[in-house]
Amino acid sequence: MKNNIKEEQQHPKQEFLFDGINYKILLIGIGVIALGFILMSGGGSDNPNVFNEDVFSFRRIRLAPTTVLIGFGITIYSIFKKSK
């Protein structure tokens, strides 16, 4: 009887912090964040004396930051989602 108790104490059952659905939602959130940063990229100019108006496009000023914030919201939701 004492051997069984010692074995259980030495090898505790490993459990994950979240369920599988939480990890899936978390990965989706990280993907949306990455998409937002990809949308922000570009718009530069090779010549520093030439101004590129593309820096102030709708995609970089409105769409990309909104996408990143939505991704952060999805990630936070995946952390707070309760297990059943």
pLDDT of residue 19: 85
Assess contact for 68 and 61: CB atoms under 8 A: no
Tokens of residue 7, six digits = 């074995």
Q: Which residue has the higher pLDDT, 13 or 81?
A: 81
pLDDT tens column, 27-80 = 999 999 999 999 999 877 778 888 878 888 899 999 999 999 999 999 999 999
| Radius of gyration of the CA atoms of the chain, in A | 23
Assess contact for 68 and 36: CB atoms under 8 A: yes
Tokens of residue 23, six digits = 């990890």
Please list the alpha-helical segments (H only) found in the chain: 2-10, 20-40, 58, 64-80
What pTM did the predictor assign?
A: 0.75
**Ranges 1-10, 13-22, 23-32, 66-75: which has the least confidence:** 1-10
Residues 6 or more apart from 64 whose CB is under 8 A from it?
Answer: 36, 37, 39, 40
